[in-house]
Structure 1
């Protein structure tokens, strides 16, 4: 049975159990797992997110479907940019940063090419939706 929803612990569990064989490919796009440290709880929190490669980096979007506030995972990585990423069977530490104004337009086009709904989400909210760059740290 195909994975219906991106969000949820079931998606995370299947992805981890199968090194992304289940859960990486989703509705015509690709998904990674991002693990942040909860800024209030201090717990590790893993979220499946649509991504694209950009050079050696990975790019994700903090859209929350166009909600007025950014998703919790984004607030967590702003508070602590040291994150863990899993792409298929590759797990690595990364530094997360919000794309700056010079690079965001190119990265936004990259992400809307893979998930056109991001443009729709942006029309639903007054906040600029952040684009996040995940830079591998170490090997």
Structure 2
């Protein structure tokens, strides 16, 4: 889990990630009134590592994300397309770092987790109304811990 990582091109997100990492989430875990984690994915064509801060919910010991994108568009966000191609991801929740396997929820599970996430962050309902696509709901299942000295 070493090597260079590219932060979000959105300056406010990149700053959020820097604050989060520098404080092990003490500054940035609760952002916008919603819990946040740092997600690092591998580029589907470049092989580079890309890092973003994401709202999350929990479902048992799993983490739940919504692939809405920062702006409502007809295409899925890059981080989601990368994750779909390379489902092994790095995650940081507060000071805890681990790897996880990502998958897209389907059917009844998606409906249940969508309801969970729209309760947590009602803005997703507005996004859903403004996009022609079905917004993916992503489930992260922990695969292993990451050594304390490494950073996603």
TM-score (norm 1): 0.92
> How many positions carry a matched residue from both structures?
135
The 5 Å alignment of 1:73-92 reads: 73-92=79-98
Secondary structure of the residue aligned to 1:112 is helix
More deviation in 92-101 or 63-72? 63-72
Q: Counterpart in 2 of 1:135?
A: 141
**Cα distance in structure 2, aligned partners of 1:18 and 1:138:** 22
| 1:68–1:126 contact (8 Å) kept in structure 2 | yes
TM-score (norm 2): 0.85
1:101 is matched with 107
Cα distance in 2 between the residues matched to 1:6 and 1:134: 26
Question: 1:35 corresponds to which residue?
Answer: 40
In structure 2, the gaps of 5 or more residues are 1-9, 146-152
How many Å separate the matches in 1 of 2:37 and 2:13?
Answer: 13
Aligned with 2:13 (options 8, 21, 39)? 8
Matched residue, 1:49: 54
SS of the aligned residue for 1:102 comes to: helix
Moved over 3 A (4+): none
Which segments of 5 or more consecutive residues in structure 1 lack a partner in the other structure? none
The whole-number CA distance in structure 2 between the counterparts of 1:118 and 1:27 is 13
Contact in 2 for aligned 1:7/1:48 (Cα 8 Å) = no
Aligned Cα root-mean-square deviation (Å): 1.4
